[in-house]
Amino acid sequence: MISKAKAKLHQTFSSKITAIGLPMLALCWVSFFWGTTWLASKEGVKHMPALQLAAIRQFIGGGLYVCFFLFKKATWPKGKQWKAILILSVLNFVLSNGLSTWGVKYISSGLGAIIGAIFPLWIVIISFFRGERLARLAVIGLIVSFGGVCVIFYDHLSDFLKPDFRFGILLSLIATVTWAFGSLYTKKKAASFNPYFSLGLQMLISSILLFAYTGATGTSVNVTTIPMESWWSIAYLVVIGSVFTFIAFIYALQHLPAEVSSIYAYINPIVAVILGVLIYNESLTTMIILGGCVTLVGLYLVNKAMRKK
């Protein structure tokens, strides 16, 4: 009897460890490796057009997802689900991912990651213009984050005289706005359709749209002229960024509380900034550190207010 009780206790303990440990491991993976994708994008766009890189990345990543679900004979989306998938493919991948990839061609990977992290601020602003009442904590967080961003850009004031820098900042900001709209649309149109399959379809559709754009505008290059450095970046972005990390992200969302699973948003820019300094010798000043910390505190307050709501 005692041995059976011990065995049962051990089994229960092991199952609890697994239930907590695997989602936390997935969250740690997301927190670190999504931060590294900013550097991979930075390396890739050094040698080829940014939108073409995004198109190739999403075509391969989306194709892998779709082929897997074709093999599994999964049910295809129906009716209005296709509309939601199409809209999200444009918002999240054509615009947000495509423009943020393009943006790091002109700004540092660390700065791009910090700008990418502020999308919750746009959700608050969009909600305000939709007539929703903002919580006091959200307003405080918005003000704190805006102050932090101002501090970050203190050291970049002279850079705004450069057209390329201004263009990179603009692209990165538009990318965060479209991601915010995509997040709100996902919340409004949350469907029961398989999120992994939906993700693959969104990436595949967005790649077709991006290929069409780069082909029509003549901004693409012959794939045979793309150097190996860019292909390694694409491989990393596909395998780590588009496949493993998205799977880990959705798994963490499904098994962890919202306040825990959202931690990755604060760690990603820190990883990108530190690795940018170590690998690309990007500048890391006191103002950037201070401003980054203030911005992340503001984002935490905004996210906390949204979760309470």
- Is it the case that residue 249 has pLDDT exceeding 60? yes
Convert the pLDDT of each residue in 196-245 to its tens digit.
Answer: 888 899 999 999 999 999 999 999 999 999 999 999 999 999 999 888 88
pTM, whole model, 2 decimals?
0.84
Q: What is the pLDDT of residues 55-97, one digit of tens each?
A: 999 999 999 999 999 998 888 888 888 988 999 999 999 999 9
* Residue 261 pLDDT greater than 90, yes or no: no
- Sign of dihedral through CA atoms 133, 138, 139, 143? negative
pLDDT given at position 190: 60
Tokens representing 248? 């880990």
| pLDDT score at 9 | 45
User: Closest Cα to residue 174, out of 99, 105, 281, 66?
Assistant: 99
Q: Is the pLDDT of residue 117 over 90?
A: no
Q: Chain-wide mean pLDDT for the chain?
A: 85
